[in-house]
């Protein structure tokens, strides 16, 4: 077994109340999308369930408006 302690990831949006999830911030959205264009899961990003739902909705809106591509090249 590993003797390393696993540090629990904290939600960046809960920790910093001034950060908002906005579909117009395409550079911030790309941080939560993997190299294939898929939305990263919570266990990878460390975002809480509430903000993960908001983030997914914002990424889908940004895709629809062509601010974020559906696939990465």
Does residue 3 carry a pLDDT above 80? no
First to last CA, the chain: 39
Domains of the chain with CATH codes: 12-64 (4.10.640.10)
CB atoms within 10 A of CB 33: 21
Residue ranges of the alpha helices (H) in the chain? 12-15, 26-30, 42-45, 49-64
Per residue in 13-66, pLDDT (tens digit) is: 999 999 999 999 999 999 999 989 999 999 999 999 999 999 999 999 999 999
pLDDT the model gives residue 73: 65
pTM of the complete model: 0.83
């Amino acid at each position: 077994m590993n003797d390393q302690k696993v540090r629990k990831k904290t939600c960046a949006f809960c920790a910093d109340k001034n950060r908002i999830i906005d579909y117009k911030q395409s550079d911030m959205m790309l941080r939560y999308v993997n190299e294939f264009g898929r939305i990263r899961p919570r266990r990878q990003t460390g975002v809480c369930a509430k903000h993960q739902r908001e983030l997914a909705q914002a990424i889908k809106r940004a895709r629809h408006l062509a601010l974020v591509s559906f696939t990465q090249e």
